[in-house]
Structure 1
Amino acid sequence: MPHITPLAHADSTGDVKTTLDTIKNRIGMVPNLYATLAKAPAALNGLLALGGALEKGHLSKPEAELIALIVGQLNDCSYCISAHSMIAKGAGISPADILAARAGTLTGGRNGAIVALA
């Protein structure tokens, strides 16, 4: 399967560089997903706009991460599982709840219902 090499941050220019700088300043790094999409700036900006729209929804950051964890697990995406486990920890989700969400066994309350629905 062919792979697209991520754009090196040092090689970015113009609006793409500004966008990547913003991502780096916000989360401390530029994940490969964003660096790869930077080769198609419309796709990168679309993904960022979608994320911004979802942040304005009714789910809290921890709730959104619970969904990302179970979806990453169901899709067998080790990159997603790793990234969202780190983000979930930063959002205050305990290591036990991270593992339970990935396994689909998180129970009780709204968080359990969110994972079960996802």
Structure 2
Amino acid sequence: MIQLLSSIGPWILTGLLGAWAIFTHLSAKAKVADAKQKAQTDVEAAQTKQKVAEDNLNARKTADVQADADAAKTAAVAAQERTDVENTQARLDDDAARDELLGLLHGSGTDNPGTGQGSAGTDPGRR
């Protein structure tokens, strides 16, 4: 029995070590595959986040450009209105211009129901 064990013992030991090596190798291979899969998932998630960030940046740039355009349009309209008022005032004589400006600032008596109230409304000589 001892002789049989000593003759096949190294083969049994080699077989057990080989089985352990194969098991360890397969286990490591599975871990590497899992790590690759996780890395691929992380890369895809990062690419998705990058795409969302780029879309948000583009939307902000578009909104900024639109806001700048709206502000420029508003400024142009205000400048045109001011020019129109100044041109109208330039065509009037001094008293008519003053009355026109006061009407623009305070509203006319028919448009503004508050006209005639308070100290300015009770003093007929005050404009």
Q: TM-score range by the shorter chain?
A: under 0.3
Question: Of the two, which has the highest radius of gyration?
Answer: 2
Of Structure 1 and Structure 2, which has the larger fraction of its residues in helix?
A: 2
